[in-house]
Amino acid sequence: MLFNLCKNSVGICRTQYRPQVLAAASVTLLTFCHGICLGWFAPMLAKLQSPNGSPLDFNASVEEGSWLGALICLGAIVGSAVFGQLLDIIGRKGCIYGLAIPHICFWLLTYFAQSIEYLYAARFCAGMTGGGTYVVIPIFIGEIVDPIIRGRLTSLFTLALNTGMLIGNILSSHVPYHLIPMVVISLPLLYLLLETFFPESPTYLLHKEQEENAEKSFKFYYNYQALNKQDVAQLNVKFSDLRNSVMEQKTQTEVVTWRDFFTKQAIRAFGLGIILMLMNVFTGSFALLNYMSSIFVVIQTDIDPNTNTIIIGVVQIIGTVSAINLVDRYGRKFLLIISNASMGICLAAFGMYAFFAEETSVDLSAYRSWLPLLIMTFIIFACNIGIIPVTFVVLVEILPAKIRSKAMSICLSFLSVCTFTLLKVFPSFMHTFGLSATMWACATFAALALFFISIFLPETKGKSMNSDNLK
């Protein structure tokens, strides 16, 4: 009964989409693993900085802890640049296999760490995987799935990341240090095994003039069964459209030059991409997640840190699931507008609460056990229904196909630089100007982003990956 219901469904459970869903789920397994790395860090850093509670033979100072936090961004810059270059050289599948290498190195360095330098190298490797996944996986998913379900399956990337972060927080808080790598390292090995069952993307194969393999790949991902002449004709039309679109791009020139980055379409796409990256960083979502404990200490909340972490992690997942269900129904632009508007209001409200907690003598004892957490859950939910997942869906869709891989690498390197800057500046800004001013600054940026998106960002829902989506 359930199988027949899924078979006749108009959603992602339709039989023709099954290989696309399985491929997207398998490739995002590494994103889940990377999420565990991110979630592992915050509770473990507190243990490493504890004079008597460090699980290793050394302690991390405050300065060393800040470098542990920021080095993942430097690794992401290298990872996005390296895999952005390799994407068109060794292919999407080659990069998908390669992403697992620095991730496995992370867990090996973590397990055998004898000094802080081992953990520096481990965090840098984690950043390489993270930066690479943001380039490779959205492009791969975008090229193998039907435009009707592309938004949902690309958003699966963020769901896997957030779920991994929740698991990482739980493991780091309750499982012995050396047991975690021994258990988790099996996941990237499983990931490598699963990827052997899925072919290269048909778009890449067409670019490499492997038309026969491209057709086989296309038929695989669209679950070709040749049940009747109508199905065969429809599939042939879809493949012909894809082939003609790729061939049209190849007639211009085979080599990507700097001139391709300065066409009218490319400049506009880059401008939108840079704004999207700035919005993703400076609305403050990633900084809030990294400094959540410090923020709640400043406003003197009564919330237990472990309980708070788990609640925020669950809210992240709920927000991402909501985005997956809404992104192909209501469109990318609508979700980004709702996300920015909601986050701006909630950030301003949190700033107001912080102002009363920091600057006045108002008695907040009746509220501090629930109100800060409630507002923060709204902030995290708001950013996870749009700003975090949808940003990367839109970025893949607006960039010209010819320069997409390299342009993604540039945009994500810029994202990593901005994230590194924010993570280093956020604590100092909060200390100098206060938490309230920091929250209001993020709210102001959300308001500016809302204005920009409403006026300038085109809707890309349902459009081909190989057309000009800025028209």
pLDDT, tens digit (0-9, with 9 covering 90-100), for 270-308: 888 889 999 989 998 888 877 776 677 777 777 766 677
pLDDT band at 340 (very low <50, low <70, confident <90, very high): very high
Three-point CA angle 334, 335, 336, nearest 5° = 95
CATH number given to 259-471: 1.20.1250.20
Mean pLDDT of 325-330: 80
Whole-angstrom Cα distance, residue 21 to residue 265?
31
pLDDT cut 90: percent of the chain above it: 27
Mean pLDDT of the chain: 83
| pLDDT over 90 (residue 352) | yes
**Angle at the Cα of 149 (from 212 to 38), degrees rounded to 5?**
100
pLDDT given at position 12: 66
Average confidence (pLDDT) over 91-109 = 95
The answer to whether residues 242 and 206 touch, using CB atoms and an 8 Å cutoff, is: yes
Q: What would the pLDDT profile of 206-238 be if each residue is shown by its tens digit?
A: 888 888 898 888 888 888 776 667 767 777 788
Statement: residue 10 has pLDDT above 60: no
Please give the CATH number for the structural domain made up of 11-198.
1.20.1250.20
Q: Would you state the pLDDT for residue 8?
A: 39
CA distances from 159 to 4, 275, 343, 432 (A): 27, 23, 19, 35
Predicted confidence at residue 5, as pLDDT, reads 35
Asked whether 347 and 439 are in contact (CB, 8 A), the reply is yes
Q: 2: pLDDT confidence band, cut at 50, 70 and 90?
A: very low
- DSSP states of 90-118 as a string? THHHHHHHHTHHHHHHHHHHHHT--SHHH
Is the pLDDT at 104 greater than 80? The verdict is yes
Reported as a pLDDT band with limits 50, 70 and 90, residue 343 is: very high
CA atoms of 325 and 467, how far apart (whole Å): 25
Given a cut of 60, whether residue 412 has pLDDT beyond it is yes
**Mean pLDDT for the stretch of residues 118-122:** 94
**Is residue 341's pLDDT more than 50?**
yes
Whether the pLDDT of residue 254 is over 60: the answer is no
pTM score of the predicted model: 0.75
